Structure 1
């Protein structure tokens, strides 16, 4: 089992719409292709920024790659994503609302009891 942590530091101005976009567009497509969401959280606003992060579970790194390839080749999904970018003036303009986007893979340290 591997876990992916996807992290965003965003402007509060975009937060509500970003959360809606996640729930209506991003999450359903990820689930469709086999991603398993452990959870998604956000911090309280600090200095005009909010951290949003999700933990995803996969059986292997190869499974993650297969799912991501399927998501990226889903034309209807990619159109919905592009339409959302367009709503905010295009992907380039989102840089003024998304201060940082990052991901890493994390390991579970809890042993079975």
Structure 2
């Protein structure tokens, strides 16, 4: 089992729209192809920006790569994302509000049965 931590630092003015986009567009497609969301959180920082991060669970790195390839090949999903970019003033405009996007892979240091992840 591996976990992906996806992190964003965004301008507070875009946080609500980004969260709505995540819930209505990004999450359904991730779930459609087998991604498992552990949770997604946000917290303001001292500069007035908002950190948003999610933890995803995958069976393996290969499973993650297969899911991501399926998402990138999903024409309907790609079209929805492009429409959101357009609605938000274009990808270049959004770069002004997304200060960084980062992801890494992490491993649990405790057995899954000792966490809430074991609950079915």
TM-score, reference length from structure 2: 0.90
TM-score normalised according to structure 1 size: 0.96
CA distance in 2, matches of 1:109, 1:40: 20
TM-superposed deviation, 1:45:
4.3
**8 Å CA contact retained: 1:25, 1:80:** yes
Structure 1: stretches of 5+ with no match in the other structure: none
Match of 1:51 in 2: 51
> Which structure 2 residue ranges, 5 or more long, are not aligned?
115-120
- The number of residues matched between the two structures is 113
Q: How does 1:62-73 map to 2 (within 5 A)?
A: 62-73=62-73
- Output the CA distance in 1 between the equivalents of 2:10 and 2:66: 28
Corresponding residue number in structure 1 for 2:60: 60
In structure 2, distance between residues paired with 1:78 and 1:70: 11
Could you say what secondary structure the match of 1:65 adopts? Answer: helix
Provide the residue aligned with 2:81 in structure 1: 81
Structure 1 residues 60-98: Cα deviation after superposition (integer angstroms, max 9, x where no partner): 000000000000000000000000011122111111110
